[in-house]
A and B are shown apart, each in its own frame.
Chain A
């Protein structure tokens, strides 16, 4: 009987801790490109492709001249009102070097539209040793799902064999 009561409590606890969070309503496909030179990462280029339904909703608002692309003013507006706010969520990513968190400061932000989908791209210019480097993409609140596939990761400056090893070591994908 004690086991059953424990089950009740455990079920309730799990549900309690998941209730405060939201399930994903937006899906972002992530494509990172790392430039590696002499075992050091000197730039991380990140491309987000937002799911079509969310994209259309955002494009409807953000493409103010309705020409299917973003001009400089629109780009600045998106950066200021939508993208820069994501610093509270650390831009849905975490970089660890020797288990220490690396601050995320995106540069060269660009918003664009491809096949009805909203694209955000930006650079993170950091000179970090690839040894003990870990990069992850996630939203703690689960409101946004960050989708990372092995094929979407590009490592420049290393051969194919090393590239696969880096993908596993840095991004944790097999």
Chain B
């Protein structure tokens, strides 16, 4: 087992333990311990989100590409990280409640179908964001202030990465729905998204640190790095679209 596999294995072990803690904590909630047990579930959900987002997925690659190649500060890393996690969890809530209450049956099969559709939408959006960054970086390569248009791509990135509902959050929300603990399901998804947002933001901060070092190498030619990032994001979108069309 190499270092990366060991890292993933450790993450999986932790997630399995937290997953078991959450299910037993939710099941054990009763009228007498409702406040303390619900608080405990939310704390566990926060840590679950933290660890869960550290594994593959959740738009970290997109965030890394974006911040590695665009001039940004740390607060933007947090705002993008949390934007993604909020959209990610909201999407999970809408999907879960929608499939459960509107379609009423065959949750798993409907979930797989809509999940695939959302991934395709996400992949197309990522391709468009990549194209936008390439064209914008090239056309405005001599401009110093790119903040306004930069924000547009930030929101597009957040929506592209977040629109795919988090199946981890969906599973917990559905578990709460089955046990008729609807409010707890919503709060758990929120707690999880706060944890996920923190991890995604950290990836953004790491990328900004790397970007600052790399930018000093490129000096006034930083647009080359931005175009490179756009190409990587575009490539990522193409790969995701390909994966979601062949499976």
Interface residues of A (CB under 8 A from B): 1, 4-5, 7-8, 11-12, 14-16, 18-25, 27, 51-54, 56-58, 60-61, 142, 145, 147
Contacts and interface: CB of A to CB of B under 8 A. Distances in A.
Given A4-B214, A15-B61, A20-B239, A145 B16 contact: yes
Contacts of A4: 210, 213-214, 217
Nearest to B126: A19
Nearest to A141: B247
A51 B19 contact: yes
A56 B178 contact: yes
Given A19-B56, A21-B57, A61 B106 contact: yes
Interface string B232-247: 1001100110010000
Nearest to B218: A5
Contacts of A25: 167-168, 171
A19 B61 contact: yes
B55 A142 contact: yes
B157 interface: no
A19 B232 contact: no
Contacts of A58: 108
Contacts of B19: 27, 51, 53
Interface of B: 4, 8, 11-13, 15-16, 19-20, 22-24, 52, 55-58, 60-62, 64-65, 68, 105-108, 167-168, 171-172, 174-175, 178, 203, 206-207, 210-211, 213-214, 216-217, 232, 235-236, 239-240, 243
A57 B65 CA distance: 36
B217 A16 contact: no
B210 A8 contact: yes
7 contacts: A8-B68, A11-B210, A12-B61, A12-B65, A14-B4, A15-B64, A53-B172
Question: Which of B4, B206, B210: most chain A CB closer than 10 A?
Answer: B210
A52 B175 CA distance: 9
Contact of B175 (A24, A56, A142, A145): A56
A19 B240 contact: yes
A145 to B, nearest CB: 5
**A-B complex: 10 closest residue pairs judged by Cβ atoms:** A23-B55, A19-B61, A18-B56, A15-B61, A52-B23, A25-B167, A53-B175, A4-B213, A145-B12, A21-B56
Nearest to A7: B210
